[in-house]
């Protein structure tokens, strides 16, 4: 976390942009970088985070399990760095989320709160009853994941905290489908998308998005 130049490079590789070319993504706004740096420098306290998380419970649930209808992701067990980055991106407008934005305003959640909330959520156990797909294309989903996703997200979907790459194992199927479609179509709400990911899934037909999302939603469920 002390290598600022490396950190900023990693930030630029996070999740989607408005440009028609994924390689033409602009640097993140100064506000996002500044808040990310500030929040990462704070030692998150899960006890304080539990209190600050009150503003999030109504949508993401008390246990951080989210909702299988694709509206709210599972946050429990996610890397604190990933959570901090996404909250900073929403706050700066780099990632658009109209439902979340009123709750993440600075008069509701401070930079310190962001660090504490992330620490609390990372501490929570990952629920195993997340929403899953129809299970009709397990071989296809596995093949796509191993070919295109495992290098970054890990063989077990564990992600990479140091590189701000999210854990995808056990995430809700519906949410994975929705976000993959947004990233694929260069939708404006994912201006923080990883350009490498945009390139990888740009040509995926819907059936492949569904298959790989279903596979990811099932990772870790055997434990």
79 plus 12 within the same structural domain: yes
- Determine if the pTM surpasses 0.85: no
Residues 115 and 150 in one domain: no
User: Are 82 and 165 in the same domain?
Assistant: no
User: Is 129 within the bounds of a domain?
Assistant: no
The reply to whether 157 and 195 lie within a common domain is: yes
Residue 156 lies in a domain: yes
Paired tokens of 195: 């350009």
Tokens 């990693």 — which residue? 10
* 115 and 145 fall within a common domain: no
Structural domains of the chain, count:
2
Give pLDDT tens digits for 44-84: 999 999 999 999 999 999 999 999 998 999 999 999 999 99
Across the range 7-15, mean pLDDT stands at 36
Give a yes or no: residue 83 inside a domain: yes
3-class DSSP state for residue 15? strand
Q: Phi and psi of 67, rounded to 5°?
A: -135, 140
Q: The dihedral of CA 63, 79, 82, 155: what is its sign?
A: negative
Note down the domain range covering 198. 138-218
In a domain, 130, yes or no: no
HSE value, Cβ hemisphere, 13 Å, CA-based, for 38: 13
């Amino acid at each position: 976390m002390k290598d600022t130049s490396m950190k900023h490079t990693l930030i630029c590789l996070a999740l989607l942009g408005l440009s028609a070319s994924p390689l033409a993504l602009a640097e993140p706004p100064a506000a996002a970088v500044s808040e990310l740096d500030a929040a990462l420098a704070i030692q998150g306290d899960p006890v304080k985070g539990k209190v600050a998380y009150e503003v999030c419970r109504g949508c993401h649930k008390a246990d951080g399990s989210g909702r299988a209808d694709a509206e709210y992701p599972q946050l429990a067990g996610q890397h604190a760095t990933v959570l901090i980055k996404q909250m900073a991106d929403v706050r700066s407008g780099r990632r658009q989320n109209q439902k979340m934005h009123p709750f993440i305003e600075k008069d509701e959640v401070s930079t310190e709160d962001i660090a504490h909330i992330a620490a609390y959520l990372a501490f929570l156990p990952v629920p195993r009853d997340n929403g899953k797909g129809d299970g009709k294309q397990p071989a296809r989903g596995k093949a796509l994941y191993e070919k295109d996703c495992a290098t970054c997200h890990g063989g077990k979907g564990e992600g990479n905290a140091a590189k701000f790459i999210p854990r995808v194992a056990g995430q809700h199927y519906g949410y994975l489908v929705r976000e993959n479609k947004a990233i694929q179509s260069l939708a404006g709400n994912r201006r923080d998308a990883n350009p490498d990911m945009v390139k990888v899934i740009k040509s995926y037909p819907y059936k492949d998005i569904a298959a790989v999302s279903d596979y990811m939603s099932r990772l870790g469920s055997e434990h």
